[in-house]
């Protein structure tokens, strides 16, 4: 069966150029203009104010305005050039410990997510006895780290019976060098409302760069983890799959005076009914 979208091939990027596969204006998306639900490749930013004007970052507990501007322009990343550097600070008065960005789009029943992050050497998700943090929310919590392990996140609240998908790994794996090597990491997620009673989700995770160079396309990548699950006999709402909230939501505050940071690179949400397999990986977890 022929694909229901326009195929295109981009030339390899010039050395030192922004990697075209992560551009929101790459040919795959310009040839399928309704595919992009939301996203940022940050290539239009030249200042901190440009980031703040996007009005996508916030904290959950109503801190003072100056503390909501905790994401700044990082213009010299060797991989993606323009990126966003965010700070996570102590839990004292007016100091946020959660930074996230939320965008909600209706009318989507199949959604592909791709997001990239890099952590400072020494980043920690430890918060006393409550040491979990959320990397990314979609319709549900897609990826969460607790201690040294990524956590299995279902059940998901739709009811019914839940099970792992064939070819899914049994666990979501462990944090290895994410907090020390200062390289980029990539997550790809796919959420589907298969029917009114059937929900399915899949997630892929990998170290994206070596010595700041992208290791290759997703379709030929060696994934650190691949896992998926489905819910059947459930009640799955329609048009509700394209919610995005990337962030670092700690379940507990940091110590007084502590501060650490991470970077956000390109992120995007694509309509899976427009482009059925944009990264060439869907068949890996069925």
What confidence tens digit (pLDDT) does each residue in 29-70 have? 999 999 999 889 999 999 988 887 877 766 544 444 444 457
CA distance 286 to 282: 7
Domains, in order of start, for the chain: 20-176+184-211+218-284 (2.60.120)
pLDDT in the model for residue 99? 60
pLDDT tens readout for residues 160-211: 898 889 999 888 888 889 989 999 999 998 989 999 999 998 989 999 999 9
Average pLDDT over residues 23-31: 96
CA distance 104 to 37: 10
Q: How many CA atoms lie within 13 A of 125 on its CB side?
A: 23
Place of tokens 């392990």: 149
Q: Band of the pLDDT at 138, cuts 50, 70, 90?
A: low
Mode of pairing for the β-strands spanning 110-119 and 81-89: unpaired
Q: Band of the pLDDT at 14, cuts 50, 70, 90?
A: very low
């Amino acid at each position: 069966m022929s694909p229901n979208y326009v195929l295109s091939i981009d030339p390899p990027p010039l050395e030192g150029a922004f990697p075209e596969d992560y551009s929101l204006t790459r040919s795959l998306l310009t040839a399928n203009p309704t595919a992009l639900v939301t996203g940022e490749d940050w290539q239009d930013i030249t200042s901190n104010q440009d980031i703040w004007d996007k009005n996508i970052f916030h904290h959950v507990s109503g801190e003072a305005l100056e503390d909501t501007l905790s994401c700044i322009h990082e213009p010299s990343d060797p991989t993606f050039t323009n990126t966003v550097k965010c700070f996570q600070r102590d839990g004292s008065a007016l100091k946020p410990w959660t930074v996230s960005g939320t965008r909600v789009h209706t009318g989507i029943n199949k959604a592909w997510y791709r997001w990239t992050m890099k952590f400072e050497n020494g980043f920690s998700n430890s918060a006393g006895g409550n040491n979990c943090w959320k990397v990314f929310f979609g319709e549900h919590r897609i990826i969460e780290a607790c201690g040294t392990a990524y956590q299995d996140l279902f059940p998901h609240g739709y009811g019914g019976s839940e099970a792992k998908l064939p070819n899914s790994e049994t666990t979501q794996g462990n944090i290895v060098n994410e907090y020390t090597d200062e390289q980029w990491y990539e997550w790809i997620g796919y959420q589907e409302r298969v029917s009114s009673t059937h929900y399915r989700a899949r997630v892929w995770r990998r170290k994206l760069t070596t010595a700041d160079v992208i290791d290759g396309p997703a379709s030929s990548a060696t994934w650190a983890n691949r896992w998926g699950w489905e819910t059947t006999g459930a009640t799955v709402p329609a048009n509700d799959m394209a919610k995005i909230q990337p962030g670092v939501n700690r379940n507990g505050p940091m110590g007084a005076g502590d501060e650490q940071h991470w970077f956000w690179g390109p992120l995007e949400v694509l309509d899976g009914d427009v482009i059925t397999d944009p990264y060439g990986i869907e068949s890996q977890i069925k």
